[in-house]
Structure 1
């Protein structure tokens, strides 16, 4: 108490905890990359149907307090996706005074991208990688498609984040207490500094290897001096035999929290995008255990206790199943038909006529383009790892490769494909790249090759970063101009101010509906339009111009044009629309 009340000496400053400074200093190298996700995040308007639907669903939740079923401004239930992402957007909007702006709509995706990068970095740092952690986090944070979708109000990047949390927690859980022990480093600080100075990279020298990998000595002198430096070795004590047996003791209480976290994240993934999240996590986890059964010695194999598997499924189901059961009951079975059958089964089998099918090899070239500028590096170092045999000594590398390959294979089995669906595989690719790079550096005898790799890394990063100023100030504004709906919506509302209902006849524009605001009424059939316009009072309807003549003939009403979308855009709209008012 005296220490608390004692006056502080003049000229002294409060001390910052060393642990906090160390943590900030550790993450500092990758912090500038986060600008890729947040710089000018809300400078452009919403630009796609996905963004507009997310904004509508979240805004309606805030306006009505009905957070159960996602519902658009026109009152139609949006059953394409579970509500997890819309809940995140609505929560961000609640913090922003109840308004879902473009910045608010994109905030969950950008935050998910940031967390995924931090997770990859922290995971590899804990496993004993330093250079590899930096390379992996940098590659993930600057992969072009990961950045592009991370700046968009879409579900795929938050899904990638939850998948990454689930799989990394699963990895830690299967190793038990051994997972909390960093890699053994047999080299002394003096040896490490010599390697670092000889490489000339300015990066920490490392000798990774969770199963005994040792870097090659750079010269004969280092080989001779190594036995005499045992007193200088700054390595952690060798693990106790009982921790390496793989028996019950190796799966002590420390494993349970990791399995619980993995299951909770899997349930969150299902709430974000449905069963595909569970399929990606489950297939990758099972494949990893199968691979390790042959790649790891018996005493060091990761194991999943049966009780943990059962409880994990129960926890994941407990997180997601209640909402699915409630949603199907509330919609009278419509949710199963629309979401499970049409948007999952039909997309997987390609039975829907409205969805284009793609060949099985579609994701190969798509991933090569989406992971730029790191595709070449990933291929080079992965091939080197397999040819040199380094993969046998690196469980984390195998984990990343299994993560990437299994997810691409699972997604390739579906007939309907999109490049965005690949994003949950990106953290696995980053892990594999980081591990392979660090082992490659530790095996180099010629410092010149490391210097060349260092410059190649810098050039690839600079090339990847140079694209984004062009995107921010040229490509994104041009794309927003093509889909601009805000001025046209203001003109429509000038003739039908709220609370008057605006009729949308075959307009099919979620972005226009977002800017019009409630109340709205969407019509598709001619009979619906005739019945609505026959009611007394003025009516304002928005439709494509090619339907105007037929609308007047079928409804028997004279429709006067009052605004056209083409008059409020700087470029010709992809789908022209006109606003009409019924004659008095």
Structure 2
């Protein structure tokens, strides 16, 4: 396979590029702001980003004013916060960085195809733009798509340094910058493609080429990636131990996170993700998988490895991170999202290898239409995950403008923060005796009651089946529970006030009557 520099884009290729761009833009932005924020994942990320905007503290990710959120480095929060600051507090703005990450990946896959698979770049970009998993993830607020875009940028820079004829130093500097930003997005998992690059360089050394692991590259990485970690670990005693022990070692070797840690968990999660996530190109990729054992045997010969250098790189880029994901005991489908870039390139090469592959035509248009229907269904299908529905129910029952939402021993729906511009907390009935970093509860009941004195805009939410127990606990702390309207999805909304004080007036209520009721 040729490893020569890409040929210039011809006039014949321009219509294909225009169609790819049109498909990608439609897929990125269709229904982007049509649904509310979904809890738990979207709610957590938007809540932390909004807390950064509200407090002006962009250094310390905060779940509430008193509770830090240290599960991820800050880059995704920064992107969401910047987008909301620029375009307003709405779901469209919160999801914009994710949609742009998807578009960046489509372009980078096209560029990688032009360099590694000349003549197949449009097919590769089309495949990536229409793969089911990237399409689904393109409008879901997590760290995974920003991470994927940065990792793909890093590999693209490496490819330009290795296979191009430009100045390798500049491309390698960009590679290290992208890996540093990937590290600021998700920590050590951001460096998995770097491990694949190191394995590739070992299998196929480049005589006289610039070394990937260089002092200058490490300096770029340290200067960009580490200052935030140094700043927060020096300010918060014990945080470094938490990062290393829980967020790194724990996710690799511990079942504590409950993310399919069983020995067969990798097969249970990753096999369906690869099969369904690669639709409608699953058959093409299956044909590549069937050829893989023969390719691996041929690559024992260094001459064959040199001849098939691009194919070797793409294969290593898939297999090395996949092996790590299978070994680690924390497993989720979106962990594999960064692998769909090289998989799209491998699928494009496989179509070229097949020779008689059917043309991209009406069937692909049908798939694009089906994908739009699925996006519309996700936007408008009723679900308990939609924080905007909860926000509407709260607004309907609230006697005064809402400033705080308190969930009592129930799942905190942090996505409500974006829709009501109100702080969201999760509290425990009993005193908190848990981990210092990322505890399950933000506060205990007694502390919250003391802090919410004189806060008429606080709305409390609890499961209706536990209301008697919660009422008794609130009463024991010298307060009174006042239900608001009918229950909503098995939850009772209520306000709390000190015994002898008047409750907040309901919409349209007589303040004098409320005052008389409070004195009785």
Q: Verify same fold: TM over 0.5.
A: yes
Q: 1:188-267 maps to which residues of 2 (within 5 A)?
A: 254-267=167-180
Q: Is the 8 A contact 2:110 2:121 kept in 1?
A: yes
Counterpart check, 1:416 vs 2:330: yes
1:361 corresponds, among 261, 264, 267, to 267
Counterpart check, 1:166 vs 2:81: no
CA distance in 2, matches of 1:58, 1:27: 35
Shift in Å at residue 154 of structure 1?
A: 1.4
Shift in Å at residue 89 of structure 1?
A: 1.2
Counterpart check, 1:491 vs 2:396: yes
Q: Corresponding residue for 1:155?
A: 143
CA distance in 2, matches of 1:352, 1:321: 27
Shift in Å at residue 479 of structure 1?
A: 4.8
Q: Corresponding residue for 1:248?
A: none
Q: Is the 8 A contact 1:160 1:423 kept in 2?
A: yes
Gaps of 5+ in 2: 1-7, 432-443, 498-502, 504-517
Shift in Å at residue 26 of structure 1?
A: 6.2
Aligned length: 460
Counterpart check, 1:559 vs 2:481: yes
Shift in Å at residue 268 of structure 1?
A: 0.6
Counterpart check, 1:287 vs 2:199: yes
Counterpart check, 1:468 vs 2:371: yes
Q: Corresponding residue for 1:4?
A: none
Counterpart check, 1:347 vs 2:262: no
Q: TM-score, normalised by structure 1?
A: 0.72
Q: Once the two structures are superposed, what CA deviation does each residue of 1:60-109 show, in whole Å capped at 9, x if it has no partner?
A: 3233322111223554221111110111112212221xx33111111111
Shift in Å at residue 255 of structure 1?
A: 0.8
Q: Corresponding residue for 2:39?
A: 48
Higher alpha-carbon Rg: 1
CA distance in 2, matches of 1:42, 1:102: 5
Q: Corresponding residue for 1:396?
A: 310
Q: Once the two structures are superposed, what CA deviation does each residue of 1:274-327 show, in whole Å capped at 9, x if it has no partner?
A: 11111x12221112113325xxxxxxx477645853322232222111100111
Q: Once the two structures are superposed, what CA deviation does each residue of 1:338-376 show, in whole Å capped at 9, x if it has no partner?
A: 444323321211241654414243423321221111121
Counterpart check, 1:31 vs 2:21: yes
2:103 corresponds, among 114, 133, 144, to 114
Shift in Å at residue 503 of structure 1?
A: 3.3
2:236 corresponds, among 328, 331, 335, to 331
Q: Corresponding residue for 1:377?
A: 284
Does the residue aligned with 1:558 lie in a helix, a strand or coil? strand
Counterpart check, 1:407 vs 2:407: no
Q: Is the 8 A contact 1:116 1:427 kept in 2?
A: yes
* Distance 1:486-1:396 versus aligned 2 partners, 3 A rule: same
Q: Is the 8 A contact 2:402 2:420 kept in 1?
A: no
Q: Once the two structures are superposed, what CA deviation does each residue of 1:29-56 show, in whole Å capped at 9, x if it has no partner?
A: 3112211121111111111222122222
Q: Is the 8 A contact 2:161 2:167 kept in 1?
A: yes
Q: Is the 8 A contact 1:489 1:515 kept in 2?
A: no
Q: Corresponding residue for 2:510?
A: none
Q: Corresponding residue for 1:232?
A: none
CA RMSD of aligned residues (A): 3.0
Shift in Å at residue 470 of structure 1?
A: 2.6
* Distance 1:430-1:502 versus aligned 2 partners, 3 A rule: closer
Q: Corresponding residue for 1:312?
A: 217
1:273 corresponds, among 186, 191, 194, to 186
Q: 1:62-211 maps to which residues of 2 (within 5 A)?
A: 62-96=53-87, 99-127=88-116, 129-130=118-119, 132-175=120-163, 179-180=164-165
* Distance 1:64-1:45 versus aligned 2 partners, 3 A rule: same
* Distance 1:85-1:565 versus aligned 2 partners, 3 A rule: farther
CA distance in 1, matches of 2:485, 2:183: 43
Q: Is the 8 A contact 2:417 2:423 kept in 1?
A: no
Shift in Å at residue 561 of structure 1?
A: 0.9
Does the residue aligned with 1:147 lie in a helix, a strand or coil? helix
Shift in Å at residue 409 of structure 1?
A: 0.8
Q: Corresponding residue for 2:348?
A: 434
Does the residue aligned with 2:461 lie in a helix, a strand or coil? strand
Does the residue aligned with 2:33 lie in a helix, a strand or coil? coil
CA distance in 1, matches of 2:430, 2:180: 43
Does the residue aligned with 2:204 lie in a helix, a strand or coil? helix
CA distance in 2, matches of 1:481, 1:554: 28
Q: Is the 8 A contact 1:403 1:429 kept in 2?
A: no
Does the residue aligned with 1:542 lie in a helix, a strand or coil? strand
* Distance 1:304-1:82 versus aligned 2 partners, 3 A rule: farther
CA distance in 2, matches of 1:144, 1:31: 17
Q: TM-score, normalised by structure 2?
A: 0.80
CA distance in 1, matches of 2:61, 2:10: 41
Q: Is the 8 A contact 1:552 1:559 kept in 2?
A: yes
Q: Corresponding residue for 1:217?
A: none
CA distance in 2, matches of 1:440, 1:498: 61
Q: Is the 8 A contact 2:127 2:281 kept in 1?
A: yes
Q: Once the two structures are superposed, what CA deviation does each residue of 1:15-37 show, in whole Å capped at 9, x if it has no partner?
A: xxx99989965621311221112
Shift in Å at residue 474 of structure 1?
A: 2.4
* Distance 1:31-1:307 versus aligned 2 partners, 3 A rule: closer
* Distance 1:128-1:136 versus aligned 2 partners, 3 A rule: closer
Q: Is the 8 A contact 1:44 1:102 kept in 2?
A: yes
CA distance in 2, matches of 1:127, 1:521: 50
* Distance 1:516-1:330 versus aligned 2 partners, 3 A rule: farther
Q: Is the 8 A contact 2:314 2:346 kept in 1?
A: yes
Gaps of 5+ in 1: 1-17, 181-252, 294-300, 442-449, 567-572
Q: Corresponding residue for 1:233?
A: none
Shift in Å at residue 135 of structure 1?
A: 1.6
